Amino acid sequence: MLKYSIRRILQSLVTVFIVITVVFLLMRLLPVEGYFTERVDKLTPEQQEAILRKFGLLDPWYIQLKNFYASLLKGDLGNSIIYRPNVPVVDVLRPKIPYSFGFGIASLVLSLVVGLAMGVHMAKEKGRFWDKVWTSFVVFINAVPAAVYLLFIQLYLTHITKLPILFSKDSFVSCILPTISMSLGGAAGYAMWMRRYMVDELNKDYIKLARAKGMPNKDIMVRHVMRNAFVPMAQYLPSSVLFTISGSIYIESLYSIPGMGGLLVDVIQRQDNTLVQALVLIYSVLGIFGLFLGDILMAVFDPRIRLEKEGGAR
Amino acid sequence: MTTRKEQHAITAIEDDSLFTFAHYDPEAAERTGYSDYSYWGSTIRIFLKNKTAVFLLILMASLVLFTIIQPYLPNQKDPNKIHIDPETGYQLRNHSPDGEFWFGTNVIGQDLWARIWSGTRTSLLIAILVGIWEVVFGIFIGAVWGYVRQLDALITEIYNVINNIPNTILLMLLAYIMRPSFKTMVIAMCLTGWLGMARFVRNQIVIIRDREYNLASRCLGTPTHRIIIKNVLPYLVSVIVMRIALSIPGTIGWEVFLTYIGLGLPLETPSLGNLLNEGRRVMMSSSLRYQLLFPAAVLSVITVSFYVLGNAFADAADPRNHY
Amino acid sequence: MKEPILSIRDLVVKFNLRGQILTAIRGASLDLYQGETLAIVGESGAGKSVLTKTWNGMLDPNGWVESGSIMFESEDLAKFTTEDQWLTVRGKKIAMVFQDPMTALNPLKTVGKQIQETLELHQDISGEAAKERTIGILSQVGISEPEMRYSQYPHEFSGGMRQRVVIAITVACNPRILICDEPTTALDVTIQAQILELIRELQAELGTTLVYITHDLGVVANVADRVAVMYAGEIIEYGTVEEIFYDPRHPYTWALLSSLPQLGIKGEPLYSIKGTPPNLFNEIEGDAFAPRNPHALKIDFVKQPPFFQVSPTHFAKTWLLDPRAPKVEPPPIVQAMQSKYKEYAI
């Protein structure tokens, strides 16, 4: 187990290194206007040059890279330029993260619970009425772009249920609709996965053996099938958790939630390059970290992975 | 068990002449084993049995056909033309659907019917272009990845890097850097879209190369090209069709997303994403809601249809479902 | 004659395959006696597994018992419909060992847990007591260092050892009938012998009635007291193992025995039966084996033969045993066996 973890950490670090460098180089392609607080035409070429020099943008790329890593290691992601001039990036982000994370976790839990239950029901009722009903739901959510159905949910559901349209800190009920909306995509995904997995597993030999030895169906479902189904899913859970930080762009803008989701869109539109760079970096690293955690989690549940290096008897 | 007496009772009825040898034909015995199974025949047959899929196939074919010929039909208006009310001389803004403007007009007075079909054309075009690229480039890279062992590590690392940066961010960045336009959108989505196909093809090739039935074919002396055509290709073709069908709703989804955050196509080029955004601006007023409903309806029908078609084809092409 | 513990009469089993009905068992009848070892032989697809699956409700969901009866402990298993009914039988009274040990165990659970589950299900023990019992069972089936093995996972065991674990699971609760569905087909020949020996020992200790399903006549000769031969969904001949090997009466059994390659004899052409078993989607008229039978009579194509008695323990379903049928010489290999038998006969 330890060997496996170390191997994965090293792999992830290599990928992180490459990704950061790639992101960094990509950032150099950003429009130059993003570094100026005032309109480009208002500045003389000398002034533009001076500002760019201050940011170190005129240095050769390897010097820039070195400086970049140096400040990264100090925890300095730079200051925002346009969005909140001269405010350190970390201070811009700090108040926003709890919102995104909070909604994200809530909807993740909801989508897991609802999705898995739906998937189990679909597998049990395979081919019959409820299977078709849930399948239509899943198909709709998967096929139609989220922007479309989220819009309609906000439009019509608030009308019907009289729930508040916009989020406000003091009102708990205003959290309900955004959370439910956010959980739909995940629920559909988990449902489909669970259904497919259960249908496949139910035909496996070890399930037949469990039946033959006299285990009631319910016990088989819980102790063998669902537990086994969970393992491959565990791989993606940490990533899902970490991604909640990035926030849902649609939901947050539709319901005016002051989270991270809208931030990236905002800063891209306003061309605040430092923030863009910082955000891209954070999300990428989070992604890699999430995958790494997922692999470790999988190894915890699936003995075949962690024991493969220690040589089991064959 | 039947007793001796019962046996006699049964057999006594029989005609004694039947107890002579019948003619034994070994060839006839062999004939019972013939199977006239055809992979594509079965695939098509099972697909056609799925009434929903057939219906949607006809629907989509008609729709695509319609979007192509629509501009040439009589009485069609230009999607960008701003219509003036002859009586008042003002722009025909927010005119509800009626006999002349089947889908009504939008906030500047443009014919929504024409805009929707123009938008569908654009969005479908993007989706199909990206889909074809995904398949062509994806298969090519995947094949090289799988066959050429020396490149395996390199391509794997490239794949990991691109895969680890969330698609949303990549697309946003690329659109941001290259400035939003039709070309940008196609290029950006092509850059991220080939990953899935490439990985899949690579895995298949690695597995198939050493799979037993292919080894068996090689042992029998089957030439490589025949192995590829008869063993590998049928599987790949069905996957290709399925992936193109499924990538269409995906690409349209990304287009809507990018448009939503302002990195989509410029307003002069109607697209389903644009129309959706325009409609969103006026959706709070129920009399104007049609401007949102029509694009949303068309979007939903197209995406759901292709999704269902893709899955239906995948199911039909799976030999485990054949009989 | 002893009373059978399991009695099957005219069993008909059908399957619904995408709208088409397949008759997998077309009227099978069989008796099973306490403590014996019965071997059911036949080609793939003859219905051997399906037959035994009706005894513990393990038929695939698209299959059902159409008619006939299966009497076991004064209950008709053919009439069982609910899960709860089957749970009184499965594992506890009738247990099954499957063919492929590599996939028969849950890869994500320890071996010990999987055996213990059976104990906890059917006997009133749990916790430490159950664990001790499990370790005891592990050594009973010949697994060394059982305490360590208890916490190991299936992939840490070889094929033969996994099969031992599967056997451990099945005998943990001392069932009356143990069905072994080709338990050694997936194993090496040397391991095969060990497993067969293990099962034999367990039978001697526990007094279980064994039913072997196999297409390997070598295994049959090794373990069986009685043999039932199946073809196209019916039992066409049954008797003691000596009777079947040395005095077979059904042309199919002749063909089966002739197909056995003879060790040590070179130069003789290998015998094979022409054709393939009939399509069970169709109604079959007469004797199912007739089209492939070189000794077929005209009546074989017209009417299905009943069981004809050869001895109180030996019956065969062939018109050749009817007094009106012409005398037929069995194939040379069978004749050789018959003369050998007469030499050794008491």
Cα gap B215→C299, rounded to integer Å: 47
Residue B279, pLDDT above cutoff 80: yes
Residue contact A211–C169, C-beta within 8 A: no
Q: CA nearest B30 in C: which residue?
A: C275
Residue C166, pLDDT above cutoff 70: yes
The complex scores an ipTM of 0.81
Q: What pLDDT is attached to residue C235? A: 92
Residue A313, pLDDT above cutoff 60: no
* Chains with at least 3 CB pairs less than 8 angstroms from chain C: A, B
Radius of gyration of chain B (CA): 30
Residue A239, pLDDT above cutoff 50: yes
Above pLDDT 70, what percent of chain B? 82
Q: What pLDDT is attached to residue B12? A: 54
Cα gap B322→B315, rounded to integer Å: 10
Q: What pLDDT is attached to residue C278? A: 82
Q: What pLDDT is attached to residue B172? A: 78
Q: What pLDDT is attached to residue B57? A: 92
Residue contact B261–A139, C-beta within 8 A: no
Residue contact A214–C87, C-beta within 8 A: yes
* Chains with at least 3 CB pairs less than 8 angstroms from chain A: B, C
Q: What is the DSSP letter of C90?
A: B
Q: Which has more pLDDT, C8 or B224? A: C8
Q: What pLDDT is attached to residue B269? A: 83
Q: pLDDT, tens digit, for every residue of C114-133?
A: 998 888 888 878 888 888 98
Least confident range from A75-84, B293-302, C132-141: namely: A75-84
- Closest by Cβ to C275, choosing from B1, B16, B32: B32
Q: pLDDT, tens digit, for every residue of C243-262?
A: 898 888 999 998 888 877 76
Residue B33, pLDDT above cutoff 80: no
Q: What pLDDT is attached to residue B58? A: 93
Q: Which has more pLDDT, A82 or A236? A: A236
Q: What pLDDT is attached to residue A35? A: 61
Minimal CA separation from B2 to chain A, in Å: 34
Q: Which has more pLDDT, B78 or B228? A: B78
Q: What pLDDT is attached to residue A312? A: 28
Q: How confident is the model at residue A114 (pLDDT cuts 50, 70, 90)?
A: very high
Cα gap C272→A163, rounded to integer Å: 78
Section C306-320 average pLDDT: 90
Please state the φ and ψ torsions of residue B263, each to the nearest 5 degrees: -110, 25
What b/e sequence results for B206-241 when a residue is b if at least 16 CB atoms lie within 10 Å of its CB, and e otherwise? bebeeeeebeebeeeeeeeeebeeeebeeebebbbb
Maximum mean pLDDT: which of B45-49, B93-97, C42-46: B45-49
Q: CA nearest B33 in C: which residue?
A: C276
Radius of gyration of chain C (CA): 21
Neighbours of C306 (CB within 10 A): 18
Section C161-170 average pLDDT: 91
Which one of C58, C108, C110 makes the best mutation probe of the A interface by having the most chain A beta carbons within 10 Å? C108
Q: Which residues on A lie below 8 Å from B166 (Cβ)?
A: 243, 246, 283-284, 287
Among candidate residues C59, C57, C58, the one with its CA nearest the CA of residue C22: C59
Residue A34, pLDDT above cutoff 60: no
On average, the pLDDT of chain C sits at 86
Q: What pLDDT is attached to residue B226? A: 65
Residue C335, pLDDT above cutoff 70: yes
Residue contact A145–B303, C-beta within 8 A: yes
Q: What pLDDT is attached to residue A309? A: 42
What amino acid is encoded at B292 in this protein?
Answer: L
Q: pLDDT, tens digit, for every residue of C81-103?
A: 888 888 888 888 889 998 888 88
Q: Which residues on B lie below 8 Å from A151 (Cβ)?
A: 276, 280, 283, 292, 296
pTM above 0.90, yes or no: no
Residue A142, pLDDT above cutoff 70: yes
Q: Which residues on C lie below 8 Å from A299 (Cβ)?
A: none
Above pLDDT 90, what percent of chain A? 4
Section B180-189 average pLDDT: 85
Q: pLDDT, tens digit, for every residue of A189-201?
A: 888 888 888 888 8
* Chains with at least 3 CB pairs less than 8 angstroms from chain B: A, C
Residue found by looking up tokens 């030895």 in the block: A213
Interface B-C, measured as beta-carbon pairs within 8 A, has a size of 73
Q: Is A23 on the interface with B (CB under 8 A)?
A: yes
Q: What pLDDT is attached to residue B280? A: 83
Residue B182, pLDDT above cutoff 50: yes
Q: Which residues on B lie below 8 Å from C303 (Cβ)?
A: 14
Q: Which residues on A lie below 8 Å from C166 (Cβ)?
A: 209
Residues B29/C274, Cβ–Cβ less than 8 Å? yes
- Would residue C210 be called left, alpha or beta, if left means φ above 0 and alpha means ψ between -120 and 50 degrees? beta
* Strand C209-214 to C37-41 pairing: parallel
Section B106-122 average pLDDT: 85
For C295-320, give the secondary structure using H, E and C: CCEHHHHCCCCCCEEEECCEEECCHH
Strand partners, A42: none
Q: pLDDT, tens digit, for every residue of C280-299?
A: 888 888 888 888 888 888 88
Interface A-B, measured as beta-carbon pairs within 8 A, has a size of 103
Q: Which residues on A lie below 8 Å from C92 (Cβ)?
A: 214
Strand partners, C32: C6
Above pLDDT 90, what percent of chain C? 26
Q: Which residues on C lie below 8 Å from B31 (Cβ)?
A: 275
Least confident range from A65-69, A126-130, B60-64: namely: A65-69
Q: Is A99 on the interface with B (CB under 8 A)?
A: no
Distant-in-sequence, close-in-space partners of B261: CB < 8 Å, separation ≥ 6: A249, A265, A268, A269, B172
Question: What does the DSSP assignment read for C195-257?
Answer: HHHHHHHHHHHH--EEEEEES-HHHHHHH-SEEEEEETTEEEEEEEHHHHHHS--SHHHHHHH
Least confident range from B86-100, B220-234, C263-277: namely: B220-234
Minimal CA separation from C199 to chain B, in Å: 31
Residue contact B19–C295, C-beta within 8 A: no
Residue B129, pLDDT above cutoff 80: yes
Cα gap B75→B89, rounded to integer Å: 21
Instruction: Tally the residues of chain C.
Output: 346
Q: pLDDT, tens digit, for every residue of B46-74?
A: 888 888 889 999 999 999 998 888 888 87
Least confident range from B15-19, B274-278, C338-342: namely: B15-19
Residue contact A291–B177, C-beta within 8 A: no
Q: Which has more pLDDT, C70 or C346? A: C70
